[in-house]
Homo-oligomer: A and B are copies of this chain.
Amino acid sequence: MLDTTPAVATLPPAAIHHGRLAGIPAGAATDLEGLLAGLAPQRRRLEAREYLFRAGQPRHSLFFIHAGFFKTCILSEDGREKITGFRMRGELLGIDSLDMPCYTCDAVALDFGEVWELPTARLHTDLPEFHERLTALLASEIRRDWSWMLALATLNAEQRVITFLLDLASRLERLGFSARDLLLRMTRAELGNFLALQLETVTRALSRLQAQGLIDVQRRAVRIDDADGLRRLLMEPR
């Protein structure tokens, strides 16, 4: 039987971020969390595929992700869609529309999730020092986006998938989870959308990496067997 929590098999129960709501992680708190907890924010739980907000809805709050995985995506007038990022615990949703009356992207839970609602009005009055943090978060989102733009423009399909896996691994590790055992919360189609590839191409890339013995793929469960081998492939011309 496939364990649904491969990423945390070796970690204390407190670190479990998978499983149902009982398993809300207590460990691996970010420093942001302590700051925001002082506001006693409204908490909101979401089910898989539930929208936290949609582009166009009036915006009054930011949301701190306390548990779960989210995607943010934008939609053009003619229906083209792009996932702009996969967001996890410790990140904020809604900062891209801080200066707007309405949200400018959709935020969707990929799994269950819990967010803390942070009305921007209250942030202003109760937590003025937070403004500084917000600037830093905005700037780092820009750098992150640029870095993905670079990756999508200069790497081939296999290299993009590798970049995604290594990025996910390092983010999970920073939260206290295993950097070897990943559980992808998104479909191949969503991954392809984010990486500007077709879902079949993602599948093929994963299969090829597995054939080379670098990773092990069991549908959404990916084990990284040879991170250095993956990094070596990133160095190749294209």
Q: A154-B80, A154-B82 are in contact. Are A98 and B136 (CB under 8 A)?
A: yes
Q: Which of A134-152 contact B (CB under 8 A)?
A: 134-136, 138-143, 145-150, 152
Report copies per complex: 2
Scan A155-169; emit 1 where CB is below 8 A from any B CB, else 0.
Answer: 100000000000000
Residue A217, interface by CB 8 Å: no
Q: Are B135 and A84 in contact (CB under 8 A)?
A: no
Residue A153, interface by CB 8 Å: yes
- Chain B residues lying within 8 Å of A84, measured Cβ to Cβ, are 146, 149
Residue A95, interface by CB 8 Å: yes
Report how far A208 CA is from B172 CA in the complex, Å: 47
Residue A31, interface by CB 8 Å: no
Report how far A82 CA is from B154 CA in the complex, Å: 8
Report how far A5 CA is from B81 CA in the complex, Å: 38
Q: Which of A33-82 contact B (CB under 8 A)?
A: 74, 76, 78, 80-82
Residue A100, interface by CB 8 Å: yes
Residue A196, interface by CB 8 Å: yes
Q: Are B147 and A146 in contact (CB under 8 A)?
A: no
Q: Can you list 13 residue pairs at the A/B interface with Cβ under 8 Å?
A: A76-B150, A78-B234, A78-B235, A96-B139, A98-B136, A98-B139, A99-B140, A131-B131, A134-B135, A141-B142, A142-B145, A149-B149, A152-B152
A residues adjacent to B (C-beta < 8 A): 74, 76, 78, 80-82, 84, 95-100, 104-105, 131, 134-136, 138-143, 145-150, 152-155, 193, 196, 234-235
